[in-house]
Each structure stands twice: as structure tokens, then as C-alpha cells.
Structure 1
Amino acid sequence: MRTIWKGALTFGLVNVPVKVYSATEDHDVPLHQVHDRDGGRIRYQRTCEVCGETVAYADIDRAYVDDGQTVVLTKEDLASLPAEKSREIDVVEFVPTEQVDLLTLDKAYYLEPDSKSPKAYVLLRKTLEQTDRTAIVRFTLRQKTRLAALRVRGDVLVLQTLLWADEVRQADFQVLDEEVKISKKELELSASLVESYSSDFDPDEYVDEYQKELRTLIDAKIEAGDTFDVAETFGEEEGAKGGEVIDLMEALRASVARSKAARTGGDEGETDDKPKKSTRKKKAG
């Protein structure tokens, strides 16, 4: 794992240096958009509406529109905010764990002790365990002030960001305002059904079936030779020139030419600038 942030947990006079790591990762199969006719990669550019130029990330600032007026915030403006400079995770209060609404839990991070002795880290962990409390903390990450719950998972302290109160919508369903009568027999049968499905939860027993089937589909297409060579289509592997922009029009023309050559057997209307073989890989045998 890669450290994404370093700071210190602080409460009272106690200071616990920590390293922060993302506790979760996305396992979805990465897909990008291509032209359905020739497989050419679809790319998006950041274009200025005023001058029409393509703008690099380094030249992009943020802005806020208020009553028709645009307020531009530069990188220096944002960096000058006091909260952004803070490297502390401040404990605001310790609350009973059951009072933390699961609906408000967001991104999770592991905290690793960042000192020669983990004593202060272990002390805080054991205190949270014995008191059955969760620490509510405030810190700044990626130019945002965040509220988070600090809790224990095994031997590790976990920092889990919380949604702000005004970010959680209130459920207001009028149909639930009506009185609904449930008979004793209905409740008994429902409880019996729940009991028949009762078990201990083991997350390892569950897999993402869609991603599994998608991976199987991709492997089958590779096995059948239903692919095209990226280097032949775009000239070289993506990113090999350190971010140099590929001439997309030329790549698409080459893809169209190869596609036509594949359909005609490569012997009709071939010229010196038209490829003589398809980028499609033929299955051996």
C-alpha cells in the first residue's frame, strides 16, 4: 500500500503520529470508450470556451459562480487557507459507537503508527475498545475539511469519513404515514422466514458476479482472437512518449483502412499508404 497522507492524531496533550492509507480499492474491470466501427479510442480534451485552446491541467484554476458573477480561485488562493495547511487529525469528542449512523459512513482509511514506539497508538486503540466508543475527528484532506469516525478494526485504527448532516437526505414517504395493521400470525410467519435464512455473515462468500462474467467475456474474446493490436492501431503503446498527443485522425484513418482491407481480403484498391493486413488477430489453426 502507498501512503497518501501523514499527520498526527491529537486529543488533549496526546499526539499520535500516523500514516494514512486507503483501506479499500476498486476491483471493476477498467473499460474505455471506442468507436463501434473501427475500434478507435475516444478521447476527451479540456477546451476553453473563450479561446478554443486545449488547456493543460497545470493551467486550470477553480471558479465559483454567484448571481452571474464568476469568482476565480487560484491554486495559491486555495493553498493559503489555514485548514489546508493543517496536518492534524483533531479528536472533537468520543461518542457511543451505536450513535454513529451507518448511512453517514463514507471512505475508509487505515492508520499506521509513524513513530519508533507505537505505544500511544496502541493505548488509544485499547481505550476505544474498552470504552466501546468511537472518536469523532476533524481533519483536512485534498483541500477539503472532513468529519470522520475513528474506530478499531482488529489491531488497526480505521479512519472513516462521515457525510455532513446536510448531505444526508431525509426520507419522507407519505404512504408510511398511514396506519398499517400487522397481525400476530403475519409477524410470526415473517420471523420464521427470517430465522430460516439466518447465518453468520462472511463477506468472502460473496463475489461481484457482473465483474466475474465481464472478465470471462473478455478472456473469451482474447482466446478467439477478437482483438486488435494497440501499437499497430495507434502507432505505439499509450503513454510511451511521456504524454505526447497521438494524431487521432491518422490513427482512425489507419484503422478504417485496415478494417476495409480485412473485409475485402486485402486485394482491392490497395495503395502504398494503406496497410496490407488487418489489425485483427486471426486464431491459429
Structure 2
Amino acid sequence: MSHMIWKGAISFGLVHVPVQLYPATQSEKVGFNLLDKRSIDPIGYRQINKRTGKEVTRDNIVRGFEYEKDRYVVLSDEEIRSANPESTQTVDILAFVEAPEISFLYLDTPYFLAPDRKGEKVYALLREALKASGKIGVANVVLHNKQHLAALVPVGSVLALNTLRWADEVRDYNELKLPSEDPKKAGVTARELDMAKKLIDDMSDSWDPSAYHDTFRDDIMTLVDRKIRAGKTEEITDVETPRESRQSAEILDLSDLLKRSLGRGKGKAGGRSQAAQDDDEAEEPATPRRRKAGTTKRAGGASARPAAARTTASRKDAPARKRSAA
């Protein structure tokens, strides 16, 4: 289990729920150390005085608030904590709101809250009351000397605390050049909208986070393992030039694009519709010149499937492979 990083209480009205805070996520990103390529020695992180260029020890580092250009007010950790000592020890609930009202744009970092000091009963009471109401708590909390807005959310048997971004931290999308919300003004026809909704329905599935993987990290770890087994731990090897990704044909007719897409996603029965198969057959090159570019001859004289058809088949099988791997 991860280490506890904070201890305090959830507070709403006169109720206090003693809790301990734990991180709810862990980083699985690929990390690299900086090395001296001449000796493979690690390159350390030095904290340097930007004016003198000299290294500064941790004992001589303080926090400063820049109130004017290059002018600071120095604050100690004790002064920062004393500014509002009550808020540093509580998840102070300000209101309860319907969960869908909080946009995912505001979600930041999740944590777990566990009961502390014989607070199991009141913890369970709050958790079950939130479940029954369908609401979540909006609260203030101070973590790492910084105040956060947060959402208190029941997740199974645990209460999760998800820090939220402040309103001025989320940019106004009205600054962007966007098509009209009126489909007609945006040039979207009713037929195109119906096909798009059908495509979404065909590709709909229940949420299973284990079905999705960081393929970049997987590929890097495979490469690292292969170099370790080959004894090439300190060598840079030549890499083949990546093949240029296949560009799809430019299809100017949105209806045609949607029609071709239908059935290529995951259908409810796991198969492709006859209409989609008919579309693929219609895409087969019709002239000798196009066939030469799209097909190859096997030793027996039979034509191999076009690359587009092979790619389509691999895409269709991809969701099944993910589920079986999970």
C-alpha cells in the first residue's frame, strides 16, 4: 500500500470524519536518467544560484513570493501553515452537488481517504449517504502548502478525494473558432447525423480500463529487455527507418466516409454487416494500373489481399485481442 501523505478530517456542519489521505494513482510513464555518454555515469540534479552560478545547499533554500519583478517576500513553511491552520487539517465541505454537474475538464488528481482514529462508523455513514443521494461533496483542502478545490466521491467501499481545477484555470473554449451548434448551420445533414449515431452505437462498449494499454511504454520495455538479453546495455544501436504510415484516401463525401466506417467498428454480435463487406468489395481496384499499385502476386500466381483490406481486418480484430489480453 502507498504511504499516507496527509491526516485530518472531513468536516461538514458539525460532523467530523477523521481520515487519512493516500495517493490513488501511480505513474507508469517511461522514465530516463541522464547519463554521461563517455562513462555511463548518472548526471545529478544541482540547485544553482542563477546569478552567481554557485550551488545552493538545501538548508539555504527558502520560499519567496514575487510581488514585483525580481522582488520577493520570503515565507517560511511555518508561516505558510499558520496563515490558515484550520484549513490545513480538514476537508471542509462547502456544498453537495449532482455528480454530472462537474465537467471532466475540472478533474485533476485523485486520492483515497481512509478512516482514522475509530472513525469507521461515521465514515461509512457519509459514504452511504452520498451513494443514496447521488451527490458528491465540493470541498476546500490544503495539500503541500496549497489550497485546492476538491470533490469528495464515493467509489465502492472507499471515499475518494479528487482535486479540482479552479474556474480561472480552465480556459474559455469560446476563444476558439468552432462550428455552430446548429447542425444545419454547421452543414451537417440529418442522414449524416443518423449514420454517425449508428457508428457510435456499433462501437459502444462498457468501460474496462484494463482493456487499454500504454503501447509506447510496452514497446520501450520490450526494447530494453531485448537489449539486456543481447548484452547491449551500454550501446546505441542503429534503428530502421520507420515505415511511413499509410495515408487513407481523401474522401470528400462525408456520407460515403460514414457509410464505409459503419460495420468496421465492433458490432453487437462481433461481426461485420453485409453492407460493409459490399463496400469493401466496391473498393477493390478496377483497372490494371490501380491493381498493380494495390496488390502483389504470390508464387502460385494468386493475388494477395490489398493492404487496405488487410489493415481493415487487423483493425476489426484489435478490440478482441485487447479483451483476451486483459
Q: Same fold (TM over 0.5)?
A: yes
Letter paired with 1:107: T
Kindly indicate whether residue 39 of structure 2 is the aligned counterpart of residue 33 of structure 1: no
**Alignment: residue pair count:** 228
Kindly indicate whether residue 98 of structure 2 is the aligned counterpart of residue 93 of structure 1: no
Q: What is the Cα deviation at residue 78 of structure 1?
A: 2.4
Query: Hey, what's the Cα distance between the residues in 2 that align with 1:12 and 1:80?
Result: 23
Letter paired with 2:75: T
Q: Secondary structure at the match of 1:95?
A: strand
Q: What is the Cα deviation at residue 133 of structure 1?
A: 0.7
Q: What is the Cα deviation at residue 28 of structure 1?
A: 1.9
The RMSD of aligned alpha carbons is 1.9
Q: Is the 8 A contact 1:79 1:85 kept in 2?
A: no
**Deviation sequence 1:103-140 (CA, Å, 0-9, x none):** 10111010101132511001101110111111001111
Kindly indicate whether residue 170 of structure 2 is the aligned counterpart of residue 173 of structure 1: no
- Residue 115 to residue 77, structure 1, CA distance change in 2 (3 Å): closer
Q: Is the 8 A contact 1:61 1:72 kept in 2?
A: no
Q: What is the Cα deviation at residue 184 of structure 1?
A: 1.5
Larger relative CO (CA 8 A, sep 6+): 1 or 2?
A: 1
Percent same amino acid among aligned pairs? 35
Q: Is the 8 A contact 1:94 1:136 kept in 2?
A: yes
**Deviation sequence 1:8-57 (CA, Å, 0-9, x none):** 01111111000100000001232112234543433331111344431122
The equivalent of 1:135 in structure 2 is: 137
Q: Is the 8 A contact 2:94 2:138 kept in 1?
A: yes
TM (norm. structure 2) is 0.66
Question: Runs of 5+ in structure 2 lacking a partner?
Answer: 235-326
- Residue 175 to residue 22, structure 1, CA distance change in 2 (3 Å): closer
- Aligned pairs (5 A) from 1:63-82: 63-75=64-76, 76-82=78-84
The equivalent of 1:209 in structure 2 is: 215
Q: Is the 8 A contact 1:83 1:140 kept in 2?
A: no
**Deviation sequence 1:173-229 (CA, Å, 0-9, x none):** 22425931321211111112112211112111111111111111111111111125x
TM (norm. structure 1) is 0.74
The equivalent of 2:127 in structure 1 is: 125
Question: 168-177 vs 68-77, which deviates more?
Answer: 68-77
Query: Hey, what's the Cα distance between the residues in 1 that align with 2:95 and 2:177?
Result: 36
- Aligned pairs (5 A) from 1:1-285: 1-75=2-76, 76-83=78-85, 86-171=88-173, 172-177=175-180, 179-228=185-234
Query: Hey, what's the Cα distance between the residues in 1 that align with 2:209 and 2:148?
Result: 28
Q: Secondary structure at the match of 2:42?
A: coil
Query: Hey, what's the Cα distance between the residues in 1 that align with 2:64 and 2:74?
Result: 6
Q: Is the 8 A contact 1:84 1:144 kept in 2?
A: no
- Residue 200 to residue 68, structure 1, CA distance change in 2 (3 Å): closer
Question: Runs of 5+ in structure 1 lacking a partner?
Answer: 229-285
- Residue 117 to residue 71, structure 1, CA distance change in 2 (3 Å): closer
Q: Secondary structure at the match of 2:35?
A: coil
Letter paired with 1:29: V
